C-alpha cells in the first residue's frame, strides 16, 4: 500500500478486526490524515484467523501502534461465535431476526476499551467499520447505537466533561458491501490480507455459506471483481 503514514497526524484509535470493513474504515481514516493506533480484541471467538489477519492489515496500513487484548467473552457464551452453538448457513438475509452470531454487547465493550485508550492518547476520534446496509442485523451496528455511544463517551470520561468532544468515525455505515469494496480498491487495499468467515475450515478457507461470506461474495460479484480469498 502506497504513501504510508507517519505518527505526525492527529491520533485516532481504530478497532481493527482483520475483516474487510475495519480494514477499509482504517484506510479512509488514514487518508483523512489520522495517525492510527489499532486495537484488536481476541474475545474467545471460535477461530484465530481474524487475529492473524488484523496483524497483516496493521502492517499494511503502517499502524503507529497495534495493541491486542485478550477478553474471553467465551466465558459468557450466548453466541455462535463464542460457544458451541452452530453457525447458521444459507440463512435468509432479508429476515429481521437477529442471528445467533450476534455477540451480546460486543461493540459496546469494544468501543469502551477503545475509548479508554483514546483518553490516554489524548485522541478524540474512534474509528469503526460498522455497516448498517449489507449486514446481519446486529443492533450495535446501527447509527442509533453510534450516536448513543458518542453521548456516553462525552458524559462518562474526564476528557469529555473537560470539554474534549469524542467522535466515532464510521465512514462505511451507510454503504453497501459493493460500495465498501469499490472504495477500498480505489485506496489500493489488498483484500487478500483480510478474513471474514464466521466458520472457516481447518485450513482457514471460508465456508462461503455463513452470513459474512455470502455478503462478502455478493459484494465482490456486484463490483465485478474476484475475491482474492476464493479459488480462481
What's the 3-state SS for 8-50?
A: CCEEEEEECCCCHHHHHHHHHHHHCCEEEEEEEEECCCCCCHH
Q: Does the residue 177 lie in any domain?
A: yes
pLDDT tens over the chain, length 232 residues: 434 444 678 999 999 999 999 999 999 999 999 999 999 999 999 888 999 999 999 999 999 999 999 999 999 999 999 999 999 999 998 888 999 999 999 999 999 999 999 999 999 999 999 999 988 899 999 999 999 999 999 999 999 999 999 999 999 999 999 999 999 999 999 999 999 999 999 888 999 999 999 999 999 999 999 999 998 6
- Domain boundaries, position 89: 10-223
Phi-psi region of 24 (alpha: psi -120 to 50; beta: other; left: phi over 0): alpha
CATH number at 96 reads 3.40.50.620
Q: Does the residue 232 lie in any domain?
A: no
Angle at 212 between CA 99 and CA 106, to 5 degrees: 55
Q: Are 227 and 220 in contact (CB under 8 A)?
A: yes
Q: Does the residue 30 lie in any domain?
A: yes
Q: Does the residue 207 lie in any domain?
A: yes
**pLDDT at residue number 2:** 38
**pLDDT at residue number 203:** 87
Helices (H) and strands (E) in the chain, counts: 7, 5
* Sign of the four-CA dihedral 94, 99, 104, 110: negative
Q: Are 45 and 80 in contact (CB under 8 A)?
A: no
CA distances to 12, 112, 113, 126, 201 from 39, rounded to whole Å, are 11, 11, 9, 10, 26
Distance CA 116, CA 79 (A): 26
Q: Does the residue 28 lie in any domain?
A: yes
Q: Does the residue 16 lie in any domain?
A: yes
Cell 437477529, located at residue: 98
Single out the residue of 103, 106, 82 nearest to residue 199, CA to CA. 82
Q: Does the residue 195 lie in any domain?
A: yes
Single out the residue of 139, 134, 154 nearest to residue 196, CA to CA. 134
End-to-end, the C-alpha distance of the chain in Å comes to 23
Structural domains counted in the chain = 1
Q: Does the residue 36 lie in any domain?
A: yes
Amino acid at each position: 500500500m502506497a504513501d504510508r503514514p507517519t505518527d505526525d497526524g492527529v491520533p485516532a484509535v481504530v478497532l481493527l478486526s482483520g475483516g474487510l470493513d475495519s480494514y477499509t474504515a482504517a484506510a479512509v481514516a488514514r487518508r483523512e490524515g489520522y495517525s492510527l493506533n489499532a486495537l484488536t480484541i481476541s474475545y474467545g471467538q471460535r477461530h484465530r484467523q481474524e487475529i492473524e489477519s488484523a496483524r497483516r492489515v496493521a502492517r499494511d496500513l503502517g499502524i503507529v501502534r497495534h495493541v491486542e487484548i485478550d477478553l474471553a467473552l467465551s466465558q459468557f457464551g450466548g453466541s455462535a461465535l463464542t460457544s458451541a452453538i452452530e453457525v447458521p448457513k444459507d440463512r435468509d438475509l432479508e429476515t429481521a431476526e437477529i442471528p445467533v452470531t450476534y455477540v451480546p454487547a460486543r461493540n459496546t465493550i469494544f468501543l469502551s476499551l477503545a475509548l479508554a485508550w483514546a483518553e490516554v492518547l489524548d485522541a478524540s476520534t474512534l474509528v469503526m467499520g460498522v455497516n448498517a446496509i449489507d449486514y446481519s442485523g446486529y443492533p450495535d451496528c446501527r447509527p442509533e447505537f453510534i450516536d448513543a455511544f458518542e453521548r456516553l463517551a462525552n458524559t462518562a470520561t474526564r476528557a469529555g466533561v473537560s470539554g474534549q468532544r469524542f467522535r466515532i468515525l464510521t465512514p462505511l455505515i451507510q454503504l453497501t458491501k459493493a460500495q465498501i469494496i469499490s472504495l477500498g480498491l480505489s485506496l489500493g487495499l489488498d483484500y487478500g490480507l483480510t478474513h471474514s468467515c464466521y466458520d472457516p475450515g481447518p485450513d482457514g478457507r471460508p465456508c462461503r455459506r455463513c452470513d459474512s461470506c455470502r455478503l462478502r461474495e455478493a459484494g465482490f460479484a456486484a463490483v465485478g471483481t474476484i475475491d482474492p480469498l476464493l479459488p480462481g
